[in-house]
């Protein structure tokens, strides 16, 4: 499993969007969540960490567990299970947090950690082979899925990570109350 | 390798002049008006060349040159006015005050060096 | 050796900014107070500097534009023209134009010269109006039939320095050397005028020379250049000898007469009247004018300062980590380590204060554009307004001030446009014809407070209410207090302007102002009395990065409360709590009844166990003359904390001003007391709409 290209690279998923050409191959890091395998563009992956108890943010959505100190930077932690309305698992030494760089609604770069069940692998995925997502998806809603990919008899759900986390990273509405 | 006194109320000009002349191996003393320049010239007593802007607060370039000319040490020291005005009148004024000559602004570093070298080369 | 002068550009732009400010302030002063020679000189010098620098650094367009401005100013300062209001207007416009163009250049854009061209036309018109200027005298060149040589030319040069030439620092040696660089030089020395040895004045020159210079590319201009500086203190004669070929050089020389008309001479110089413009020669180094003699300041690159501040922030964290670790040390060297750490803490604190102060600047920098703005707007809108500024020496962080500029401008424009009545209206209500806008800055607690108040017509509550209903912001049957209605104007898209004036009321409104201030971790409040006026109060934290905090524990979370907001801490006496209608708790604190706030409630803590009994400590906090009691489980340390942004990766959170990293590496939230006040009021008014907090806390509304 090679994460070299993704680590220490804070360029956002914009790079992935830019390659419109169908001959393009992009690398995706995949992880498990409640039995399903999801993938994110590896260019957005900053690092993979274990779980540490975050500090609660007052009045935050339930899927935002809080913030942690990542070498001096304050980073929010999002539990994807709760975000996807799946029953949450208790956190422990085996819990994995993937730290991503995403873009908020104003295009600013933000660092966010997502709690997943386990990390899977890195795949080279040809853009041409990515399938469009189906019309309706109960859990996620299509805006978060950038496509589906078949490999080794399984299906990987590729996530549009900026949109998925935008409500965590972007400035809230005028009336916060 | 000469000691040059560069006087101009514009810091960017002073920097440019300093940088250029130091690059050619000279020592540069900076002052932002005539009063400070006079003071420094009196203190160091070994300035080989004075480059001075004309329009400055407190004591302008011409007054500076005139004042320095009346001292023992600087009677014959080359003193050049750095001036934007190239009219005959201004040149005469400068001469009357005792200026050796002038360099017309704007000038580029190369022009500055060429002129300096003529005088102290 | 090529020197790259673009490295000096930034400094030049900064100087231009200073110069333009000098010009603007000076011009404003002139227009209201009349002619003042010193100020005119200052303005001239500034323009001259800008023009000169622009030329040096290659910004031709700026040089050309500034030229006419400078010419006009020169005439005024020489007393040849009188300064008129028409002139000051055009000059002020020029200043604005220069600002824009220089800013475009600074951003490496091509400046738009269209405005400059228009202004130039006006400037030229004004220049032409005045007395006819004598045409500029260039170095005189008599008409000369230039014998262009086909092959080489030989120049015969006669050079006789006047005795006093040496006194101008010009050395014949230099001139001779320059000539020799142009070609082959043959020199004949003439010592006829040399006096006897004992009669010689060594400061005078008695020697003269004759040269024969042969070279290609030697023309009259080049030779004139060589003698340019000494032309008035010497006699120079140039003869050009045509040489068809080298063989007849000697013949040519023989034929050539010595006394041809001098090509260059300096007759004209005698006629010129040399006036010394500045008769006062100040050799006194203790100058009255302190402006530039003592340079107690240096220019520092702002990025370096920011880097320093970050480093100090990290240092504070490290120091607190060490403090933490030291508690677990064995006792042997414990005391030494503790002493060392205390020393480190003191050093850090001092360093930090000094570094923070580097970025502090008086708010006058932000205020100083407003006299001009008010003047222009007053003219445009036909309203007479007097601007009163106080507290302009109040210092605040440079970046904060820069970001404050736009919101402040908007508030002032607002006051001028909407707040101020016209002269007739004011007369009709018995108010003085001249309205006033007050701009005040002062410190309060750990904040800088900036107040913009006008004595205009105040906010029309009914109008606002109606507009809010039609905009769907509130419902017809919503009950709101007058203050709440007034606060509605801070909502997005709100504008009750009857016509969208050019100035404000485009819907880019007060909500943007409020947002800008929020982003500075500040707050915006307003107060208005119909017929009497409106005031906006901006409150900003003084130090962006570090705060003295009281650590507290609520359940298993640690929070930091800025010490500056804490008025006192006490153990709660449950008997002093009164539950009143609407679910609000009040605590009887001496003569006051202060509202009680449970942090876990307003922060919506997931309550593991709602054990009210364990909550025994109350911290009384203060903001805007109001008090509140925060109930917490435990009081922990007091320490300095470095504020880390929540917004950089998350968003801003109401009630929280930022986060910090504690000694053990965990994150703690820093409470925003002002927000907490707002949040607790909201929770009250949700339950019972008619509830005035002020009267219950026993204090009157602050004026």
**Domains in chain A, please, with CATH?**
14-169 (2.40.50.180)
- On whether any CB of chain C is under 8 Å from the CB of B22, the answer is no
What is the structure's pLDDT at B73? 87
pLDDT band of residue C80 (cuts 50, 70, 90) is confident
- Write the CA distances from C351 to A21, B65, C312, C357, integer angstroms: 55, 45, 7, 10
Average pLDDT over residues B82-91: 82
First to last CA, chain C: 68
What is the structure's pLDDT at A32? 92
Backbone phi, psi, residue C536, to 5°: -110, 135
| DSSP one-letter string for C123-156 | HHHHHHHSPPPPPPPPPP---------SS-EEEE
pLDDT band of residue A100 (cuts 50, 70, 90) is very high
- C393/C659: higher pLDDT: C659
Look at domain C362-541 and name its CATH class.
alpha beta
Contact B96 C274 (CB under 8 A): yes
Distance of CA A85 to the CA centre of its chain: 15
What is the structure's pLDDT at C258? 43
Q: Which of C455, C326, C431, C435 is nearest to C385 (CA)?
A: C435
Q: Percent of chain C at pLDDT above 90?
A: 12
pLDDT band of residue B68 (cuts 50, 70, 90) is very high
Backbone phi, psi, residue A124, to 5°: -90, 115
Using DSSP, state whether C6 is helix, strand or coil: helix
pLDDT band of residue C493 (cuts 50, 70, 90) is low
Token couple for C568: 């006192």
- C511/C449: higher pLDDT: C449
In which residue are the tokens 């830019």 written? A18
Neighbouring chains to C with at least 3 Cβ pairs closer than 8 Å: A, B
What is the structure's pLDDT at C191? 85
What is the structure's pLDDT at C298? 64
Chosen from A74, A88, A113, A167 to mutate, greatest number of chain C CBs within 10 A: A74
Token couple for A30: 């995949």
Average pLDDT over residues C541-545: 66
- Sheet containing C208-215: give its strands across: C184-190, C208-215, C153-161, C234-242
What is the structure's pLDDT at C296? 52
Select from A66, A112, A171 the Cβ nearest to the Cβ of C652.
A171
pLDDT at B98 over 60: yes
What is the structure's pLDDT at C142? 33
Token couple for C33: 């107070």
What is the structure's pLDDT at C544? 57
pLDDT band of residue A158 (cuts 50, 70, 90) is very high
Note the helical H segments in C327-455: 334-358, 364-367, 370-381, 398-414, 423-428
Q: Tell the CATH superfamily of the B3-120 domain.
A: Response regulator (3.40.50.2300)
Close Cβ partners of C628 (under 8 Å, ≥ 6 residues apart): C594, C595, C596, C597, C620, C621, C622, C676, C677, C680
Distance of CA A132 to the CA centre of its chain: 19
Contact B56 C170 (CB under 8 A): no
- pTM here is 0.47
d(CA C680, CA C324): 34
- A105/C243: higher pLDDT: A105
CATH of domain C5-129: 1.20.120.160
d(CA C697, CA C625): 10
What is the structure's pLDDT at B121? 66
Average pLDDT over residues C575-599: 83
What is the structure's pLDDT at A29? 94
pLDDT at C197 over 50: yes
What is the structure's pLDDT at A120? 92
- On whether any CB of chain C is under 8 Å from the CB of A71, the answer is no
Close Cβ partners of C92 (under 8 Å, ≥ 6 residues apart): C24, C27, C28, C372
Average pLDDT over residues C57-82: 87
- On whether any CB of chain B is under 8 Å from the CB of C665, the answer is no
Using DSSP, state whether C65 is helix, strand or coil: helix
A144-148, B22-26, C259-263: which range is least confident on average?
A: C259-263
Q: Which of B45, B42, B23 is nearest to B34 (CA)?
A: B42
CA distance C474 to chain A (A): 13
- Backbone angle region of B117, left / alpha / beta, with phi > 0 → left and psi within -120 to 50 → alpha: alpha
- On whether any CB of chain C is under 8 Å from the CB of B114, the answer is no
CA distance C21 to chain B (A): 15
pLDDT at B25 over 60: yes
What is the structure's pLDDT at A141? 58
Out of 3.90.1150.10, 3.30.70.420, 2.40.50.180, 3.40.190.10, the CATH code matching C546-696 is 2.40.50.180
pLDDT at C536 over 90: yes
- On whether any CB of chain A is under 8 Å from the CB of C679, the answer is yes
Interface of C with B in 125-144 (CB under 8 A): 136-140
Average pLDDT over residues C115-136: 74
pLDDT at C446 over 70: no
Per DSSP, C419 falls in state: I
Beta bridge partners of B27: B3
Distance of CA C401 to the CA centre of its chain: 9
What is the structure's pLDDT at C696? 37
Residue A14 has, within 13 A of its CA and on its CB side, a CA count of 12
A111-115, B45-49, C318-322: which range is least confident on average?
A: C318-322
User: Greatest CA span in chain B, whole angstroms?
Assistant: 35
- On whether any CB of chain A is under 8 Å from the CB of C545, the answer is no
Select from C557, C645, C667 the Cβ nearest to the Cβ of A68.
C667
d(CA C148, CA C153): 8
Contact C317 A59 (CB under 8 A): no
What is the structure's pLDDT at C280? 24
List the single residue in C with minimal CA-CA distance to A100: C649
pLDDT at C506 over 70: no
In which residue are the tokens 């709690």 written? A115
Average pLDDT over residues C582-600: 84
Using DSSP, state whether A67 is helix, strand or coil: strand
What is the structure's pLDDT at C543? 62
d(CA C368, CA B12): 25
d(CA C574, CA C144): 109
- C647/C95: higher pLDDT: C95
Is C484 exposed, middle or buried (CB count within 10 Å of its CB: 0-12, 13-18, 19+)?
A: middle
List the single residue in B with minimal CA-CA distance to C139: B88
Backbone phi, psi, residue C397, to 5°: -60, 140
List the single residue in A with minimal CA-CA distance to C652: A171
pLDDT at B21 over 50: yes
Contact C169 B79 (CB under 8 A): yes
Please report how the helices C220-227 and C172-182 are oriented relative to each other, as an axis angle in degrees rounded to 10.
Answer: 160
- C57/A16: higher pLDDT: C57
Are domains C362-541 and C546-696 of this chain identical in fold? Answer: no
pLDDT band of residue C279 (cuts 50, 70, 90) is very low
What is the structure's pLDDT at C11? 84
Q: Which of C383, C343, C387, C348 is nearest to C367 (CA)?
A: C387
In which residue are the tokens 């109960």 written? A138
What is the structure's pLDDT at C537? 93
pLDDT at C253 over 90: no
d(CA C663, CA A138): 44
pLDDT band of residue A8 (cuts 50, 70, 90) is very low
What is the structure's pLDDT at C362? 82
Q: Which of A136-140, C496-500, C648-652 has the highest mean pLDDT?
A: C648-652
d(CA C444, CA A9): 45
CA distance C33 to chain B (A): 22
Using alpha carbons only, give the angle C461, C466, C470 rounded to the nearest 5 degrees. 145
What is the structure's pLDDT at A175? 32
- Write the CA distances from C99 to B18, B35, C89, C622, integer angstroms: 28, 31, 15, 44
C-beta neighbour count of A1 within 10 angstroms: 8
Average of per-residue pLDDT values in chain C: 77
Q: Which of C432, C417, C429, C427 is nearest to C382 (CA)?
A: C417
What is the structure's pLDDT at A79? 93
pLDDT at A30 over 70: yes
What is the structure's pLDDT at C288? 34
Distance of CA C648 to the CA centre of its chain: 27
Contact C463, C429 (CB under 8 A): no
Average of per-residue pLDDT values in chain A: 79
Q: Which of C327, C416, C330 is nearest to C371 (CA)?
A: C416
Backbone phi, psi, residue C160, to 5°: -125, 105
Beta bridge partners of C602: none
| DSSP one-letter string for B41-88 | HHHH----EEEEES--SSS-HHHHHHHHHTSSTTSS--EEEEES---H
Contact C505, C417 (CB under 8 A): yes
Per DSSP, C331 falls in state: S
Beta bridge partners of C187: C211
pLDDT band of residue C147 (cuts 50, 70, 90) is very low
Q: Quick one: fold of C153-263?
A: Alpha-Beta Plaits (3.30.70)
pLDDT at C262 over 60: no
* Omega before residue C365 within 30° of 0, cis: no
- C607/C140: higher pLDDT: C607
Backbone phi, psi, residue B80, to 5°: -110, 135
- CA-based torsion, B86, B91, B97, B103: positive or negative: positive
- A121/A3: higher pLDDT: A121
What is the structure's pLDDT at A142? 65
Length of chain A: 177
pLDDT at A113 over 90: yes
Using alpha carbons only, give the angle A23, A28, A31 rounded to the nearest 5 degrees. 150
What is the structure's pLDDT at C570? 92
pLDDT band of residue C290 (cuts 50, 70, 90) is very low
Q: What is the pLDDT of residues C172-196, one digit of tens each?
A: 888 998 888 888 888 888 888 888 8
pLDDT band of residue A122 (cuts 50, 70, 90) is very high
d(CA C488, CA C666): 39
Average pLDDT over residues A35-50: 91
Average pLDDT over residues C402-408: 85
- On whether any CB of chain B is under 8 Å from the CB of C287, the answer is yes
**B with C: touching (≥3 Cβ pairs within 8 Å):** yes
What is the structure's pLDDT at A111? 92
List the single residue in C with minimal CA-CA distance to A78: C650
What is the structure's pLDDT at C127? 85
A100-109, C80-89, C681-690: which range is least confident on average?
A: C681-690
The alpha-carbon radius of gyration of chain C (Å, integer) is 38
- Backbone angle region of C531, left / alpha / beta, with phi > 0 → left and psi within -120 to 50 → alpha: left
A140-144, C237-241, C585-589: which range is least confident on average?
A: A140-144
Interface of C with B in 27-66 (CB under 8 A): 42, 44-45, 48-49, 51-58, 63
């Amino acid at each position: 499993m090679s994460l070299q290209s993704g680590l220490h690279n804070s360029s956002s998923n914009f790079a992935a969007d830019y390659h419109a050409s169908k001959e393009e191959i992009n690398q995706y890091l995949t992880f498990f969540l409640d039995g399903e395998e999801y993938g994110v563009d590896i260019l957005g992956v900053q690092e993979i960490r274990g779980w540490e108890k975050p500090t609660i943010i007052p009045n935050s959505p339930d899927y935002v567990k809080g913030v942690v100190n990542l070498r001096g930077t304050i980073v929010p932690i999002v539990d994807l299970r709760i975000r996807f309305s799946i029953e949450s698992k208790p956190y422990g030494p085996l819990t994995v947090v993937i730290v991503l760089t995403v873009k908020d609604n104003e295009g600013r770069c933000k660092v966010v950690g997502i709690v997943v069940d386990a990390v899977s692998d890195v795949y080279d995925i040809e853009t041409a082979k990515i399938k469009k997502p189906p019309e309706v998806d109960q859990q996620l809603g299509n805006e978060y899925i950038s496509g589906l990919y078949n490999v080794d008899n399984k299906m990987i759900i590729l996530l549009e990570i900026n949109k998925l986390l935008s409500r965590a990273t972007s400035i809230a509405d005028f009336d916060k109350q | 390798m000469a000691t040059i006194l560069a006087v101009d109320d514009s810091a960017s000009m002073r920097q440019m002049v300093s940088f250029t002349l130091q690059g050619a191996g000279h020592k540069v003393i900076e002052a932002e008006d005539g009063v400070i320049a006079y003071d420094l010239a009196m203190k160091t007593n070994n300035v080989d060349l004075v480059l001075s802007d004309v329009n400055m607060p407190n004591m302008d370039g011409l007054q500076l040159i005139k004042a320095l000319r009346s001292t023992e040490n600087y009677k014959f020291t080359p003193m050049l006015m750095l001036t934007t005005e190239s009219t005959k009148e201004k040149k005469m004024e400068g001469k009357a005050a005792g200026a050796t000559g002038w360099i017309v602004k704007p000038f580029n570093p190369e022009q500055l060096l060429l002129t300096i070298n003529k005088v102290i080369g | 050796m090529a020197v790259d002068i673009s490295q000096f550009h930034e400094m030049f732009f900064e100087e231009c900014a200073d110069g333009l400010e000098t010009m603007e302030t000076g011009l404003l002063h002139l227009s209201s107070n009349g002619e003042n020679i010193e100020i005119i000189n200052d303005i001239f010098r500034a323009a001259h500097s800008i023009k000169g620098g622009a030329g040096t650094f290659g910004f031709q367009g700026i040089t050309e534009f500034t030229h006419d401005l400078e010419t006009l100013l020169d005439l005024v300062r020489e007393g040849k023209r009188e300064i008129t209001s028409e002139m000051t207007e055009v000059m002020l416009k020029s200043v604005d134009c220069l600002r824009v163009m220089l800013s475009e250049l600074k951003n490496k854009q091509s400046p738009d010269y269209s405005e400059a061209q228009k202004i130039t036309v006006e400037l030229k018109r004004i220049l032409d109006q005045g007395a006819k200027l004598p045409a500029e005298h260039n170095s005189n060149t008599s008409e000369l039939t230039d014998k262009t040589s086909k092959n080489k030319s030989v120049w015969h040069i006669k050079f006789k320095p006047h005795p006093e030439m040496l006194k101008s620092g010009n050395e014949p040696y230099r001139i001779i050397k320059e000539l020799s660089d142009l070609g082959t030089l043959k020199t004949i020395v003439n010592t006829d005028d040399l006096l006897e040895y004992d009669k010689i004045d060594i400061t005078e020159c008695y020697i003269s020379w004759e040269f024969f210079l042969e070279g290609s590319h030697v023309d009259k201009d080049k030779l004139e250049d060589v003698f340019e500086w000494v032309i008035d203190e010497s006699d120079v004669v140039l003869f050009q000898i045509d040489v068809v070929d080298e063989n007849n050089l000697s013949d040519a020389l023989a034929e050539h007469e010595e006394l041809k008309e001098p090509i260059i001479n300096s007759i004209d110089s005698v006629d010129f009247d040399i006036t010394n413009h500045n008769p006062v020669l100040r050799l006194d180094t203790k100058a009255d004018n302190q402006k530039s003699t003592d340079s107690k300041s240096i220019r520092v690159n702002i990025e370096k300062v920011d880097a320093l501040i970050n480093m100090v922030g990290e240092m504070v964290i490290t120091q607190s980590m060490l403090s933490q670790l030291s508690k677990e040390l064995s006792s042997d060297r414990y005391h030494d380590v503790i002493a060392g750490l205390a020393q480190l803490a003191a050093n850090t604190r001092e360093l930090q204060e000094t570094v923070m102060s580097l970025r502090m600047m008086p708010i006058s920098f932000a205020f100083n554009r407003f006299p001009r703005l008010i003047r222009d707007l007053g003219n445009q809108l036909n309203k007479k307004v007097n601007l009163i500024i106080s507290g302009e020496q109040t210092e605040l962080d440079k970046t904060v001030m820069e970001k404050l500029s736009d919101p402040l401008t908007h508030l002032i424009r607002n006051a001028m446009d909407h707040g101020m009545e016209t002269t007739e209206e004011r007369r009709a209500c018995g108010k003085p014809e001249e309205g006033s806008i007050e701009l005040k800055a002062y410190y309060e607690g750990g904040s800088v407070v900036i107040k913009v108040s006008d004595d205009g017509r105040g906010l029309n509550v009914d109008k606002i209410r109606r507009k809010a209903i039609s905009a769907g912001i509130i419902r017809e049957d919503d009950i709101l207090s007058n203050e709440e209605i007034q606060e509605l104007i801070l909502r997005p898209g709100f504008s009750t302007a009857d016509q969208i004036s050019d100035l404000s009321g485009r819907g880019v409104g007060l909500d943007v102002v409020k947002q800008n201030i929020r982003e500075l971790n500040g707050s915006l409040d307003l107060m208005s009395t119909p017929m009497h006026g409106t005031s906006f109060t901006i409150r900003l934290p003084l130090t962006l990065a570090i705060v003295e905090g009281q650590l507290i524990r609520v359940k298993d979370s640690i929070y930091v409360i800025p010490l500056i907001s804490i008025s006192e801490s006490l153990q709660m006496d449950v008997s002093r709590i009164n539950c009143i209608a609407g679910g609000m708790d009040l605590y009887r604190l001496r003569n006051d009844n202060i509202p009680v706030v449970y942090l876990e409630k307003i922060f919506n803590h997931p309550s593991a166990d709602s054990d009210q009994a364990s909550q025994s400590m109350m911290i009384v906090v203060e903001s805007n003359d109001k008090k509140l009691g925060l109930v917490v489980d435990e009081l922990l340390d007091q320490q300095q904390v470095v504020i880390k942004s929540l917004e950089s990766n998350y968003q801003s959170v109401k009630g929280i001003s930022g986060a910090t990293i504690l000694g053990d590496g965990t994150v703690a939230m820093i409470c925003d007391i002002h927000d907490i006040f707002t949040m607790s009021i909201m929770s009250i008014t949700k339950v019972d709409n008619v509830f005035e907090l002020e009267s219950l806390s026993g204090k009157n509304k602050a004026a």
